[in-house]
Structure 1
């Protein structure tokens, strides 16, 4: 698929809405086709996707003004409000488009929810975790996984040890047709157990599983959803 610079810029601006499940079927098909051939947009989506879960529950108008936060946080929050990036936990098909772009979204969620690589925050009253079978392809890795069904997509909860300390790993959710959608990244903690919460815009009913790959692109862990 040949993409002009103007097409690339337009599709890049849709990455935030794609991560939140806010695109219609035609737009989603177009951006997924673009992602297959654009490593830069895949990398950017991988950074945005883990923020989708916390951002979906953020109401900028209801957020308290931090009393001890850096001065630039208020400016970031003001930019979010100015962009009208208001997200409500409605079905993704009924949600209005949100012009969410990387730096503003990241700063807002980090300030409000304390998020990092992989999202560790937990909301009270969240849906139950459904266990998911995993297969470790590295004999040193021990892992359990589960999924949470959200209106904006599927959240993967990964509890594991044995991933090489400090090494970056990519997590990709596969839809039922086997198409990959980035779900974020984490860094290994060696023998210490870690809990990572990673988010994808693929709805749970359309998700077939996920894979974890290392820096060389080799699969280290895979899961197939029931």
Structure 2
């Protein structure tokens, strides 16, 4: 709406909707509205905006109003009251109020959309804390042993797990020099031997040891021991099981 095309009361339409006019000015604006369709339309639109802002639930403004928003609105209204005699100043004051209202509307709508479109957090299952007793027990027949060979200084901690006609071997081996090519050998009752895996001892493995997993096609009931042997046939350590 262009206020230059109307009488001075047109510049008070915004303040009229906000309810900050004196009684004489309210009467002046209402007389103008009775004969001005564009201003009546503007009043209706402003009241609609005012109603929409009033219906925004406070929980949508979780972070509060925009910083300085209340202060800006109060200063604008005080300026409008002090300088109401100037139509140009009235228009500037109403533009300031409109900017604050528009910012509040955008903030409210943005927060509302954010709340409605954000995915709900997944449900959190609450239960007892895990404990050592809740771990699955090892299979029946699992054997564990540890030996340090006094002559070589090599040590092996061994877990032998039975399967259907074969065994799984887990071994932690320390005390063997870097560069040695070693084999895990499963020894049977009849003197049979089965290779469960091999590795090259690295410098890091020589310092901190190595953990190995292997398997051998030996009946669990026939296994008597597991040895670490190099390719030259030297036995570093044997663990009876």
Which category of TM-score, normalised to the shorter sequence, fits these structures?
A: 0.3 to 0.5
Q: Give the TM-score normalised by structure 2.
A: 0.38
Normalised by the length of structure 1, the TM-score is 0.40
Higher relative contact order (CA 8 A, sep 6+): 1
Q: Which of structures 1 and 2 has the bigger CA Rg?
A: 2
